[in-house]
Amino acid sequence: MKCILLFFLFITVGSTAQLPLCKQFTDIPAMEQRAFLNQSNMRNVSQASPNYKVNFYRCTWKCDPAVRYIDGKVVAYFTATAPTSSIVFDLTTRLTVDSVTSHNQKIGFTQQANQTLVLQLPVALNALQKDSVAMYYHGVPDNTGFGSFIQSAHNNVPVIWTLSEPYGSKDWWPCRSGMDDKADSLDVTILYPSQYKGTSNGLLQSETTVGNTTTSFFKHRYPIASYLVAFSVTNFAVFNNTVQLGNTVLPMVTYVYPEDLATFQADTHLVLDAMQLFHNTFAPYPFIKEKYGHTQFGWGGGMEHQTNTFITHTDANLMAHELGHQWFGDKITCGSWQDIWLNEGFATFAADYYFEKFDTASSRITLAIHLNNIVSQPDGKVWIEDTSNVGRIFDGRLSYDKGAYTLRMLRFTLGDSLFFKGLRQYQNDSALQYRFARTADFKRNMETATGRNLDYFFQQWIYGEGYPSFTVNWSQNNNNWARIKVSETTSHPSVPFFRTPLALTFKNATQQKTVVVQCNTNNDESWADIGFVADTVWVDKDLQLISKNNKTAKSLAASTVQNEIKIYPNPVSSQLYVSLKNPSEKQMLLQLFASNGQLVWKRMFDTPGQDELLQVPFTLNPRGTYLLKADAGNSIHLIKKIVK
């Protein structure tokens, strides 16, 4: 879900000058948190019984945008998952249930104080037996979640809209509101005064007017979580677009307040660009047999209702974020609010990816905004322990920004090819498609697709807290190789060391080169061929990592230890390195002998008094044991056994 304060910022990025933020961005989590704080009667758990699974909802809702009131009938077709004679739906006690029927016969029911509707079935059901119930109700809906059921106005015209995430579905219709069940499909019929228009999930099948009442009928034939079901009614203007997705021409239907029609018509092309990008990158659009749409509403941002995003304005960041949810949140829904980053972090990443491809200047600014927010505090994990706190679930710093940045870091760690291969496998996992996922499911797919063990990565960035600060000490020899030593401190004791690749950009007035060093232990030392004399090193110039207070220092003083030699790696595969610190001689002879004493390689190196990194090629040598001999005047005589 999403939201919206609009603001202009100036932000310092790397070593560059301050860049003005020349367009409006939406602070998506901010309104969600404020909306929660305004709700004093939050009841944030599902009490529906686990002994059945809903297959299909047929919903009929009658309302007038000028009146905060709903008259509803919900028919639930379900399958018993265990022998039972009763089932329990979530429903607020603020609504009055008039009657419940099964096979056109009234059945017993009670509304409980724990916000449930308990139904006594006419006959006991066996496991896997199918049945249905029709629930008739009316009243003034509750107002928890981020609004749930809102009656307000725009331009002095009445409007009703719903927004049920995370726990608000039961405030206006009987359902299973937990994160353990999706109905296979949905029918929605809305009845309202004829001067208005209604909109909901799926495809509009018919719109008929009899007297002063209009009836709109929608069908949705994909699995859907209860909190993603929505409708709205007001004097909408409606316009249509299409977008080419492979061989499919997908309809894009927009319901907008008439006073904002021109703005929405002018800006909708932005979301169509994002649609093609996400379709080609993540997986085919999940609801490609139906539509995608926008419905304007007044909550302050957006909500990713399945096939029909409710959106307040046409900010590019907001539209891309909500669209990303159709893959990450709607098609695959987090199986617990503990894993909300699988919805919100992924959607934030999708919006960042859109800017990367279509607006590079804004891309860097948004990344810097995310990063500054994440490191503004020294703690906080992506994974959520306390799901009773909705403010924590929709924490912008952690669920949104850190979740998205964790994906950016995983992409940097794996490389684009493997990372997007893993995302596509996650989207195509038959156990998760149109179902629910936990963090472990995402990790499993990424490991399977890439062949990498990612335990350390998830422990650091998903379940751990804080971030690293790097200190990079470096020097260069006469051959322009750089000796690099990286030390690290962390902001929170839950992660004593962050294992990560680190990008270092060496530069002078006319040249620059970025090398990536792997930080596996503290005070790691490595060499890199820079190719020119550098005067400056930037740490993580392209903002690939969550880090703060990074420092660099160039070592100018010679080592106090002369002729210190290190030979690595051993065993070797393709290239052997000989590190020589503070040599006392001007030349060194290296010779490589096979185990039978045969000379297979030799070279004389110049060593003019500065640290050197010498290379011994091993690519063409067969496996076996070798002897490396090093001689430098009267100072160095060394023989080392090397294994390939």
Within a domain: residue 375? no
Same domain, 580 and 631: yes
- How far is C-alpha 49 from the geometric centre of its chain's CA atoms? 31
How many CB atoms within 10 Å of residue 599? 10
pLDDT at 286: 98
Order of strands across the sheet with 500-507?
Answer: 512-519, 500-507, 536-539
Binning pLDDT at 50, 70 and 90, where does residue 600 land?
very high
- CA atoms of 305 and 186, how far apart (whole Å): 13
Q: Are strands 512-519 and 500-507 parallel, antiparallel or unpaired?
A: antiparallel
Within a domain: residue 491? yes
Which of 361-365, 372-376, 410-414 has the lowest average pLDDT? 361-365
Answer whether 311's CB lies under 8 Å from 263's CB.
no
Same domain, 515 and 540: yes
Within a domain: residue 52? no
Same domain, 472 and 550: yes
Report the CATH number at residue 487.
2.60.40.1840
φ, ψ dihedrals at 436, nearest 5°:
-115, 150
Within a domain: residue 487? yes
Is 90 exceeded by the pLDDT of residue 586? Answer: no
Task: Give 215-239 pLDDT, tens digit per residue.
Answer: 999 999 999 999 999 999 999 999 9
Q: What is the mean pLDDT of residues 311-330?
A: 97
Same domain, 527 and 592: no
Residue that finishes a domain, picked among 498, 531, 554? 554
- CA atoms of 565 and 580, how far apart (whole Å): 5
Same domain, 484 and 519: yes
Task: Give 396-428 pLDDT, tens digit per residue.
Answer: 999 999 999 999 999 999 999 999 999 999 999
The total number of structural domains in the chain stands at: 2
Same domain, 568 and 550: no
pLDDT at 417: 98
φ, ψ dihedrals at 430, nearest 5°:
-65, -25
pLDDT at 226: 96
Predicted TM-score (pTM) of the model is: 0.85
Residue 622, preceding bond cis, omega within 30 degrees? Answer: no
Same domain, 474 and 550: yes
Within a domain: residue 86? no
Amino acid (one-letter) located at 567: I
Within a domain: residue 475? yes
Binning pLDDT at 50, 70 and 90, where does residue 23 land?
very low
Same domain, 506 and 581: no
Binning pLDDT at 50, 70 and 90, where does residue 609 land?
low
Same domain, 638 and 573: yes
Task: Give 429-483 pLDDT, tens digit per residue.
Answer: 999 999 999 999 999 999 999 999 999 999 999 999 999 999 999 999 878 889 9
Domain of 547 in residue numbering reads as 468-554
Same domain, 479 and 540: yes
By the 10 Å C-beta count (0-12 exposed, 13-18 middle, 19+ buried), 375 is classed as buried
Is 90 exceeded by the pLDDT of residue 501? Answer: yes
Tell how many helices (H) and how many strands (E) occur in the chain.
Answer: 10, 40
Quote the mean pLDDT of the chain: 91
Residue that finishes a domain, picked among 535, 554, 573? 554
What string of DSSP letters covers 342-386? HHHHHHHHHHHHHHHHH-HHHHHHHHHHHHHHHTTSS---SS-S-
What string of DSSP letters covers 509-569? SS-EEEEEEEE-STTEEEEEE-SS--SEEEESTT--S---S-EEEE--SPPSSTTEEEEE-
Report the CATH number at residue 609.
2.60.40.3080
Within a domain: residue 461? no
Task: Give 100-139 pLDDT, tens digit per residue.
Answer: 999 999 999 999 999 999 999 999 999 999 999 999 999 9
Residue that finishes a domain, picked among 525, 554, 583? 554
Within a domain: residue 577? yes
Is 70 exceeded by the pLDDT of residue 5? Answer: no
